[in-house]
Chains A and B, each alone.
Chain A
Amino acid sequence: MKGLTLELMSYVMAAPFVAALIVYLVLTWLSKRRSRDWPLYRIVLWSLGVVCCLCSVVGPLASLAQHDFYYHMVTHLLLGMLGPLLFVLGAPMTLALRALPAKQARLITRVLRSEPVRILSHPITASILNIGGLWVLYTTNLYALMHHYFLLHLLVHVHVFLAGYLFTISLIYIDPTPHRYSFAYRTLVFIAALAAHGILSKYIYAFPPDGVSRSAAEAAGKLMYYGGDLIDMVIIFIFCLHWYRSSRPRSMA
């Protein structure tokens, strides 16, 4: 793609994240005005999420990622894993429910309860969309094609972010979650998804995607494997903490 298209593309992709930060800050202000305080750490986490995602779509890292598969993998971790996790920890739905008037808040609840959301946020659907999407990206020529078509590039990045977010909310319940699954059920799906992610990392190491050098694929495969572990460790920790709290013995409550 030409330089100008690249630049335009980065701004198109950056815009929603900037908007996400503005909307979030407006909501905290609205919530405060209704004398319902919102914790500072959630604002910090959300903002860090925005920074992670912005770094992966605009600026020096994003342009390096265009040419070098290793840096592509760095941006993948930021946009598909760390960014979404930080967004989830920002608890946007809870904030919106506090900040908005009852009528709009009811609309949000209705959306969260709806059938499409139930299907999409099912742990198995979310895992397939997330990890399955990565398998398609790196084991077909989609990765090579993405660098030639503006729209495809855009779609892949939107998918990586949204699927990462969906995957995270399907496993850890920070916001109101009408469709809940047991800890044991989520554990099994989580382990399968983690395994598929690890296997794909090693697959990339052994079989570089089209147009990727062996050394870049090896470095990127290792980064995906260990970087993924690091972020998953945080998700597992939060998951186990919720489990630990919910199984508190009665006499201690």
Chain B
Amino acid sequence: MNTSKNRSKHLSKNLWSGFLFGIGMAAFVDETVFHQLLHWHHFYDKSTTTVGLVSDGFFHAFSWFSTIGGLFLVADLRRRKAFWFKRWWGGVLLGAGLFQFYDGTIQHKLMRLHQIRYDVYILPYDIIWNALALIMIAIGVFLLIRTNTKNALGVYE
């Protein structure tokens, strides 16, 4: 069986593998860049609601798992000769974008799970954070639409 047939058979696996890895990657960037390097985010500030703490715990655990699991799914697609980078990347952007948007709206604002930065006028930060998230979602969706079954069969390639 050739690659394009395998790809069209595993369209959703390409999507989900990217999606899971995207969530994990966004969480990882958040953790290393904003927590560890810039020290903009706090490990835990006292304004966090209980729901926020629980939600953060589950999200952290889930994203840690999905980073590794997502990459194993890539390995699985590769051994089936069904890996499609363009579609996978669409999944990554969608996952990362949705994570960041959820983080920036629900977790930061509603559950008061730390803020992007402290002791500054926060509004521009919030706008840029969520706008970037929406841009990632848009590009991700665009790539996913472009890589539907017809494209997998090489009609447009």
Which A residues have a C-beta under 8 Å from some C-beta of B? 187, 190-192, 194-199, 202-203, 205-206, 218, 221-222, 225, 229, 232-233, 236-237, 240-241, 243-244, 247-249, 252
Contact = CB atoms under 8 A, between A and B. Distances in A.
Interface in B28-62: 43-44, 46, 53-54, 56-58, 60-62
A149 to B, nearest CB: 32
Contacts of B54: 195, 199
Contacts of B53: 199, 202-203
11 contacts: A187-B65, A192-B61, A195-B62, A198-B60, A202-B53, A221-B43, A221-B44, A236-B64, A236-B69, A244-B72, A244-B76
A205 B53 CA distance: 12
Nearest to A232: B64
Contacts of B60: 194-195, 198
A192 B54 CA distance: 10
A73 to B, nearest CB: 14
Contact of A240 (B46, B57, B69, B80): B69
B106 interface: no
A225 B60 CA distance: 10
Of listed B43, B56, B79, residue having the most chain A CB within 10 A: B43
Contact of B62 (A191, A196, A233): A191
Interface string B76-120: 100110000000000000000000000000000000000000000
Given A194-B60, A240-B69, A243-B72, 4 more contacts: A195-B54, A195-B57, A195-B62, A198-B60
Contacts of B61: 191-192, 194-195, 197-198
B43 A205 contact: yes
Nearest to A194: B61
A241 B64 contact: no
Given A222-B43, A249-B80, A237 B68 contact: yes
Interface of B: 43-44, 46, 53-54, 56-58, 60-62, 64-65, 68-69, 72, 75-76, 79-80
Contacts of A225: 43
A191 B80 CA distance: 28
Given A195-B61, A203-B53, A236-B64, A252 B69 contact: no
A192 B65 CA distance: 11
A243 B79 CA distance: 14
B37 to A, nearest CB: 14
Contacts of A187: 65, 69
Contacts of B56: 198-199, 202
Nearest to A252: B79
B76 A247 contact: yes
Contacts of A190: 65
Given A195-B58, A202-B53, A241 B65 contact: no
Given A206-B46, A249-B79, A236 B57 contact: no
Contacts of B46: 206
Contacts of A194: 57, 60-61, 64-65
A233 B66 CA distance: 11
A196 B53 CA distance: 10
Contacts of A191: 58, 61-62, 65
Interface centre among B61, B62, B69 (most CB of A within 10 A): B61
| Leading 4 A-B pairs by shortest Cβ distance | A194-B61, A199-B57, A195-B57, A195-B61
A104 B118 CA distance: 64
A128 to B, nearest CB: 16
